[in-house]
Amino acid sequence: MTIYRFLRKFDLFNWFYYRFWNRFHVLKLNYLKPGYHDADTILIHAMFQSLVNFIELEKPDEIVAWDADPEHKHAWEEINELYNWWIDRQDREKDNPLFQPDIKSPNMKFTPTGEKYLDPISKKEEGTSRMDFVHESKEAEEKWEKACEDCTVWEKKCYDEDAEMMARLINIRSFMWT
């Protein structure tokens, strides 16, 4: 029995092959910055990274006859629209009201409260603090508060738009094969 047949018999060949050479099961999220992210953020990035990989790596425009019937034609238009939206979406943070040049982030002041709590990890008693924003002026404080309110509205709009685009991507997923 050859080594290849032995490894194949115990599926060790596939285990090594797909973990060290062809890592098709790994999805590299190109547009997600390093660090902690909530599951909803990871989900949208994973979905649209799959779309980006489909367009850029599989090149379906060279393989599939998208104008063969109206359903395929619509799917191709939708795929391209979603792809372009995702690429353009990467710059939308510049529209965040909190990141505008005339908005100055306040300093933070921490004041001990005198209260204690038990840290669940270290099992030690820790003190608590109150965090306050310290603004340079009353005008700066008003601008900051207005920007925070606008940011809440902007984030809701972005979240709703993301949800709509995710639903559209799910609706055309049956066409994402080559």
Domains of the chain by residue range: 38-175
What pLDDT is attached to residue 176?
93
What pLDDT is attached to residue 170?
97
Rg of the chain (C-alpha set) = 25
Encoded amino acid at 54, one letter: F
Given a cut of 70, the residues of the chain with pLDDT beneath it are: 1-10, 18, 23-25
What pLDDT is attached to residue 129?
87
Q: Say if residues 141 and 55 touch (Cβ distance below 8 Å).
A: no
Distances (CA, A) of 8 to 25, 29, 121: 19, 31, 45
Please state the pTM of the whole predicted model: 0.74
What pLDDT is attached to residue 121?
85
Q: CA 134, 157, 169: angle at the middle one, nearest 5?
A: 135
Separation CA 99–CA 110 (nearest Å): 24
By CB neighbour count within 10 A (0-12 exposed, 13-18 middle, 19+ buried), where does 86 fall?
Answer: buried
| Three-state secondary structure readout of 91-134 | CHHHHCHHHCCCCCCCEEEEEEEEEEEECCCCCCEEEEEEEEEE
pLDDT digits (tens, 9 = 90+) for 154-175: 999 999 999 999 999 999 999 9
